[in-house]
């Protein structure tokens, strides 16, 4: 089996559907160019039938972003597929992404279709899309809650109709990693023509398991992962691209697969998404959050100052973060205080250190984070009470 995992980024489509994350055409273009620098394999630029703006965004991204394959989403109906093909006509590499729900819940309550009708519609949609584009993907919406026998039927039918990729989404984030891994494993063993298509995952985060489920899929033969920057998307979001990529990189010996992603662009991609959507990422977000490489606890700070590998399983630089941070707070120790004072241009005598440390802990009980301005005031107070600090260099502390 190929050991390369294809990264299908849907930040501009599924991610943008989340409340508060809507992007205009220029925003999408700006983000698309950054995703190109990140080196995603597939860039899903939008849902062309949804609006004139979405159509134009897919058309512009297709014309101006040349390295990744540009995908557009379409329901398994001719008018959607026609619109998608038109939006993609100037793409260097294009993909029509056709979807249809397959779970009995969706068939009954949303589509009012029988299984036989859905099976025929799925195959016909793929067959029609292939008349316009060589690269067609089919997604079985709500695959995670679809009867396995029927899912096998649908997968075989759409591959026979020409789908090169079959996506098996956990659309509502219902699956557990063991469930999802078993689903992929069983489907791959039962679909007769599975060797003619790449099997893909698209997991949602309703139970906080989108990344775990995606990784379980990879362990069981998935070779395309659909994901978003910062994990944005419908409801609780999608699997976070940066978490999947770095899990595969940090634990490469375990997973035995690689990606084409330029990991040093992960932080820049996260920051740009925050900029274009005006939606910050939470501080404790893995890989790209403000605290991902920040250390406040004294024991951790002491280890970090001796060797970063004690508490960091990857370097900040490996994901494009400028550097890790030693954060002064009420949990900090003397080693961290000495290091921050040195960075400001001072070294402390033993007495000065003890005085400054007692001031630090007193201030930290009232303030969450000690900024440089706070520290300079602490230093000045320690200097007045215990004598002068000795500058390390001639430059004034700033």
Q: What is the pLDDT of residues 242-288, one digit of tens each?
A: 999 999 999 999 999 999 999 999 999 998 999 899 999 999 999 99
Q: What range defines the domain where residue 246 resides?
A: 6-277
pLDDT digits 0-9 by tens, 87-131: 999 999 999 999 999 999 999 999 999 999 999 999 999 999 999
Query: Do 74 and 97 form a contact (C-beta atoms < 8 A)?
Result: yes
Check if the beta carbon of residue 125 is closer than 8 Å to that of residue 100: yes
Residue 303 in domain: yes
Q: Same domain for 224 and 249?
A: yes
User: For residue 247, how many other CB atoms are within 10 A of its CB?
Assistant: 20
φ, ψ dihedrals at 264, nearest 5°:
-65, -10
Residues 6+ apart with CB under 8 A from 200: 6, 8, 137, 139, 165, 166, 167, 168, 222, 223, 224, 225, 226
Q: State how many domains the chain has.
A: 2
Nearest to 6 by CA among 261, 326, 197, 266: 261
Chain segment 158-197, per-residue pLDDT in tens? 999 999 999 999 999 999 999 999 999 999 999 999 999 9
Rounded alpha-carbon distances, angstroms, from residue 208 to 8, 301, 348: 20, 29, 46
- 239 with 309, same domain? no
Q: List, in order, residues 6 or more apart from 184 with CB less than 8 Å away.
A: 168, 199, 201, 216, 217, 220, 221, 222
Query: How confident is the model at residue 323, as a pLDDT?
Result: 66
pLDDT single digits (tens) 67-81: 999 999 999 999 999
40 domain-assigned: yes
**242 & 148 share domain:** yes
**354 shares a domain with 258:** no
Q: Is residue 197 included in any domain, yes or no?
A: yes
The dihedral sign for the CA sequence 105, 210, 26, 82: negative
Query: End-to-end distance of the chain based on CA atoms, in angstroms?
Result: 56
Closest to 243 measured CA to CA, from 256, 231, 233, 255: 231
Measured CA to CA, the distance from residue 377 to residue 397 in angstroms comes to 11
Pairing of the two strands 165-167 and 136-141: parallel
368/261 same-domain check = no
pLDDT class of 380 with cuts at 50, 70, 90:
confident
Of 277, 311, 337, the residue that ends a domain is 277
Same domain? For 298 and 271 the reply is no
State percent of the chain over pLDDT 70.
Answer: 89
Q: Residues 225, 366: one domain?
A: no
Answer yes or no: do 126 and 160 share one domain.
yes
Radius of gyration of the chain (CA): 26
Verify that 259 and 321 share a domain, yes or no: no
Q: Is the pLDDT of residue 39 over 70?
A: yes
């Amino acid at each position: 089996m190929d050991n390369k995992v294809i990264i299908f980024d849907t930040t501009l489509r599924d991610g943008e559907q989340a409340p508060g994350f809507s992007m205009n055409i220029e925003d999408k273009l700006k983000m698309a160019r950054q995703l190109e620098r990140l080196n995603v394999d597939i860039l899903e630029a939008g849902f062309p039938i949804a609006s004139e703006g979405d159509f134009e965004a897919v058309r512009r991204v297709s014309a101006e972003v040349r390295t990744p394959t540009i995908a557009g989403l379409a329901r398994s109906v001719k008018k959607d597929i026609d619109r998608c093909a038109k939006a993609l006509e100037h793409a260097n590499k294009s993909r029509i992404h056709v979807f249809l729900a397959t779970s009995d819940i969706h068939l009954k309550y949303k589509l009012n279709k029988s299984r036989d009708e859905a099976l025929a519609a799925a195959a016909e949609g793929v067959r029609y899309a292939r008349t316009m584009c060589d690269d067609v993907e089919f997604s079985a919406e709500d695959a995670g809650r679809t009867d396995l026998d029927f899912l096998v039927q649908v997968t075989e039918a759409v591959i026979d109709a020409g789908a090169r990729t079959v996506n098996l989404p956990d659309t509502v984030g219902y699956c557990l990693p063991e469930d999802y891994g078993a689903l992929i494993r069983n489907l791959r063993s039962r679909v007769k023509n599975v060797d003619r298509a790449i099997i893909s995952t698209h997991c949602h985060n309703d139970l906080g398991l989108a990344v775990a489920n995606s990784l379980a899929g990879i362990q069981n033969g998935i070779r395309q992962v659909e994901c978003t920057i910062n994990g944005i998307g419908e409801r609780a979001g999608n699997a976070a691209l940066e978490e999947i990529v770095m899990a595969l990189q940090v634990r490469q010996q375990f997973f035995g697969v690689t990606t084409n992603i330029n990991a040093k662009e992960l932080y820049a991609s996260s920051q740009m998404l925050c900029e274009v959507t005006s939606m910050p990422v939470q501080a404790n977000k893995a890989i790209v959050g403000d605290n991902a490489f920040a250390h406040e606890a004294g024991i951790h700070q002491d280890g970090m100052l001796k060797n970063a590998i004690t508490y960091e399983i990857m370097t900040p630089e490996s994901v494009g973060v400028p550097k890790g941070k030693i954060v002064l707070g009420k949990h900090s120790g003397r080693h961290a205080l000495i290091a921050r004072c040195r960075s400001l241009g001072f070294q402390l005598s033993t007495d000065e250190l003890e005085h400054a440390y007692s001031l630090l802990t007193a201030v930290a009980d009232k303030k969450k984070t000690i900024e440089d301005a706070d520290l300079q005031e602490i230093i000045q107070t320690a200097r007045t009470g215990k004598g002068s600090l000795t500058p390390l260099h001639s430059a004034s502390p700033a």
